[in-house]
Amino acid sequence: MNDIPRNPKSRPRIVLAMIPGLERSLFNEDHLAALRAMATLPETEPAVPFESERAGRLLRDAEILLTGWGCPELSAAVLDRAPRLRLIAHCAGTVKEMVTPACWERGLRVITAAEANAIPVVEFTVAAILLANKHAFQIRELYRRERRYGLWHHTTPGIGNLNKRVGIVGASRIGRRVIEALSPFDFSICVYDPYVSEQEAARLGVEKVELDELLRSSDVVTLHAPSLPETHQMIGARELALIPDGAALINTARGALIDGAALEKELSTGRIRAVIDTTEPETLPADSPLYDLPNVFLTPHIAGASGTEVYRMSALVIEEIGRYLRGEPLQHEVRQEDLPRIA
């Protein structure tokens, strides 16, 4: 346990830890000014690698470690170099690749901007659902190839968003936001999540079903489960075969949720369509058929915060650091017991 008392009269020191150069994208001058108004920010260049002499000098007096994508693992050896550390403020989503048991053993508090990162993922997902039901990606290819007037609904039966069924795999932070965002549309929504009760599903306004039923009955299946040992390749060849002809599969969660080889084989038949933003591996090999299949809309993990959207994460973390320094309850804290169920 980190038992060094905090002196409320001293200015806490904030040290950055992330991919070098990322700080220039995450924090503008207003963000840096807000941090400096609350604390001492000795340097804006990230203190990585942690083994360096410079990092040791910065970590020695750090009370707050402001982390981002690419922050190295916070092992016991690293934490030994930061005896005054009390708060890890992660300006990104998941903390699983960074936080270790040593962090909890030392009583460190951890916050994350996952809530802010969820917003663009939800936006991307809802857009993908609406466009998938309109067969927009496939019709674009037809129109570009044929360059003529056509009754496209004859070419693509089932086109349209009215009275479609959307199946949501995982009532996670993002899954629940997707449910809420879909409420204005004329959809029926079903959910598969073993942690959601019938009563909770009713409160969400959705139907709780088993995975097989969801896959068989949905016009669009969208994945929002966390990447855990029990969800690894939860969508395999058997599950993909259950999806109706012409239906669409959307993955903005993690590539590891799907058996990649089975996905390539199924999509190569043209029987179903897909919007794929996350894959396993993160960058597919150059000879992957997913790059060229006309029934696949493939993007390189862009659904999450990027460009201007990262500032939403920066603002959340800075506000949360302010709450910590004022002794107020934290709104975005991650606890050790949360880890088995979060992304």
Q: Which residues are catalytic?
A: 254, 282, 301
For residues 210 and 219, what is the distance between their CA atoms, to the nearest angstrom? Answer: 16
∠ CA 85-88-90, rounded to 5°: 155
Backbone angles phi, psi at 280, to 5 degrees: -130, 110
- DSSP for 318-339? HHHHHHHHHTPPPSSEE-GGGG
Query: Left if phi > 0, otherwise alpha if psi is -120 to 50, otherwise beta: which for 239?
Result: alpha
Cα dihedral sign for 49, 54, 57, 62?
A: negative
Q: List the structure tokens of 136.
A: 């927009």
Reported as type and span, the H/E element at residue 89 is strand 87-90
- DSSP for 11-78? PPBEEEESSTTTHHHH--HHHHHHHHHHSB---SS---STTSHHHHHHHTT-SEEEE-TTPPP--HHH
For residues 62 and 60, what is the distance between their CA atoms, to the nearest angstrom? Answer: 6
For residues 219 and 88, what is the distance between their CA atoms, to the nearest angstrom? Answer: 42
Reported as type and span, the H/E element at residue 317 is helix 310-326
Q: In terms of Cα–Cα distance, which of 80, 72, 87, 96 is closest to 18?
A: 72
Q: List the structure tokens of 304.
A: 């999450």
Q: In terms of Cα–Cα distance, which of 10, 78, 75, 33 is closest to 325?
A: 10
Q: List the structure tokens of 130.
A: 């609406």
